[in-house]
């Protein structure tokens, strides 16, 4: 009963405070799903039982629920219906003979409306291993490209961004030149006001996926308020001051299903779009370590989703990085679908013809799992089990590959989001471990 009450309270908190698929904001209806293992984890061949509950206005409803079961992100392999009694029913999710996750997908029609929910549980998750293999020349490929990039001297522009300055912090917009082709990325650079020379840890924050402006530049202002330099970057070379309508137009034109940047040039490791992006991370770290205010010791990368992937890439490519903070990393085990297994965002299995010979070879040079095994920095990683964007299977593939000092915050109920408290806690984790 205690476990049930706790889970219900957790669910209600998320329902009230987060806009997520499982818990829509201000919904009249609430699902509660309670696995018979409190940590949502099982051993291989162990059966998982889940109590499902459905409430409308907080009152249990005896709806008929259609359900299907499936491996994580895969097509359903079982289905049925169950009638709730006093708003409750017990369902058998089945099991797995191999390490990974199962997904229970629920649908109920109540008062003429359809409500959906799902829950994932894991089996022998510490045994999850990626499908992707590291190319023999992986390290040499990236060493040569970094060396070539650095043949072009680092240059950047820097101008005050008063709209993001406060009584405690100063903000600057920087444009960082990347190469001889004069490609660039933009970033907002936050400082503690009147920062002394050699006093500040530096934090690089790459963005989540998409073609968009730098999201809410002040949302992590507490890093600068606590003595850090923080760099919020974009990856496409688009001035974040452009109107939102222009970003929308650019995204529609150049980030569709068939022409998205994550598939651009994918047939060649040398022409792939993300090559410039990965190298830009090192360029931005070069900038941060050249600032007189940097303390000369602590260099941190932090991000979520695509940004989490890029944080791992940066930590692997640059041994100056001391701390790596990651939420549900994307770009992990991307080609696993080609072998019939769960793969990571951007889920290339949904686009015909992507996961083929040359493309798969290219992806191996850019897959986050192959970077993870080269990370030496202290790493803090968090992920949720109900995530359908960066599924828990691929998060575990990354986590189990990391061989560095590492800590995890696992939040089973979460989908593709983290709470403000979780993100603030990441900064606190970092501050306690500064050198």
Active site residues: 305, 387, 416
| d(C-alpha 348, C-alpha 257), whole Å | 10
Per DSSP bridges, beta strands 169-177 and 156-160 are: antiparallel
Concatenated DSSP letters of 266-280: TT-TTT-HHHHHHHH
| d(C-alpha 400, C-alpha 129), whole Å | 7
Which residue is listed with tokens 């020349």? Answer: 137
Count Cβ neighbours within 10 Å for each residue of 278-309 and write b for 16 or more, e otherwise.
bbbbbbbbbbbeebebbbeebbbbbbbbbbbb
| d(C-alpha 348, C-alpha 337), whole Å | 8
φ, ψ of residue 163 to 5 degrees: the values are -65, -15
Per DSSP bridges, beta strands 294-304 and 323-327 are: parallel
Q: How far is CA 168 from CA 141, 171, 188, 423, in A?
A: 43, 10, 16, 20
Residues with Cβ within 8 Å of 253's Cβ and at least 6 positions away in sequence, in order, are none
| d(C-alpha 174, C-alpha 186), whole Å | 6
Which residue is listed with tokens 């490609």? Answer: 183
Of 28, 34, 33, nearest to 110 by C-alpha is 28
Question: In 212-304, where does DSSP find H-type helix?
Answer: 222-225, 244-254, 273-289
Per DSSP, the three-state class of 12 is: helix
| d(C-alpha 142, C-alpha 276), whole Å | 11
Structure tokens at 127: 């045994």
| d(C-alpha 172, C-alpha 146), whole Å | 26
Structure tokens at 389: 């964007």
Structure tokens at 218: 């002040």
| d(C-alpha 424, C-alpha 300), whole Å | 15
């Amino acid at each position: 009963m205690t476990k049930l009450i706790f889970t219900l309270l957790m669910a209600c908190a998320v329902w009230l405070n987060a806009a997520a698929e499982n818990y829509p904001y201000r919904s009249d209806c609430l699902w509660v799903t309670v696995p018979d293992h409190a940590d949502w984890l099982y051993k291989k061949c162990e059966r998982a039982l889940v109590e499902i509950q459905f409430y409308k206005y907080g009152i249990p409803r005896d709806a008929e629920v259609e359900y299907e079961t499936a491996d994580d992100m895969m097509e359903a392999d079982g289905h049925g219906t169950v009638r709730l009694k006093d708003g409750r029913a017990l369902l058998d999710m089945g099991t797995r003979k191999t390490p990974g996750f199962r997904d229970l997908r629920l649908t109920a029609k109540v008062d003429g409306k359809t409500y959906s929910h799902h829950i994932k549980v894991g089996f022998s998750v510490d045994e999850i291993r990626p499908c992707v293999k590291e190319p023999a020349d992986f390290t040499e490929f990236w060493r040569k490209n970094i060396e070539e990039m650095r043949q072009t001297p680092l240059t950047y522009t820097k101008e005050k961004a008063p709209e993001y300055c406060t009584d405690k912090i100063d903000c600057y917009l920087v444009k960082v030149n990347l190469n001889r082709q004069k490609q660039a990325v933009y970033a907002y650079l936050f400082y503690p006001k009147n920062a002394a020379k050699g006093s500040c840890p530096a934090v690089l924050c790459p963005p989540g996926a998409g073609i968009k402006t730098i999201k809410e530049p002040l949302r992590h202002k507490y890093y600068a308020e606590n003595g850090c330099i923080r760099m919020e970057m974009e990856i496409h070379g688009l001035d974040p001051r452009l109107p939102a309508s222009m970003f929308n137009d650019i995204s529609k034109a150049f980030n569709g299903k068939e022409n998205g940047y994550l598939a651009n040039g994918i047939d060649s490791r040398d022409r792939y779009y993300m090559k410039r992006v990965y190298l830009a991370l090192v360029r931005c770290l070069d900038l941060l370590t050249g600032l007189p205010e940097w303390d000369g010791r602590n260099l941190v990368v932090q991000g979520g989703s695509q940004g989490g992937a890029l944080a791992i890439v940066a930590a692997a490519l640059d041994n100056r990085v001391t701390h790596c903070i990651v939420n549900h990393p994307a770009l992990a085990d991307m080609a696993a679908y080609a072998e019939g297994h769960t793969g990571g965002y951007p889920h290339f299995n949904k686009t015909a013809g992507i996961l083929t010979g040359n493309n798969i070879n290219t992806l191996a040079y850019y897959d986050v799992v192959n970077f993870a095994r080269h990370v030496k920095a202290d790493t803090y990683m968090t992920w949720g089990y109900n995530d359908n964007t960066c599924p828990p299977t691929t998060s575990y593939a990354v986590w189990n590959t990391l061989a560095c000092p590492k800590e995890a915050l696992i939040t089973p109920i979460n989908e593709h989001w983290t709470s403000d408290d979780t993100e603030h806690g990441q900064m606190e984790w970092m501050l306690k471990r500064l050198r």
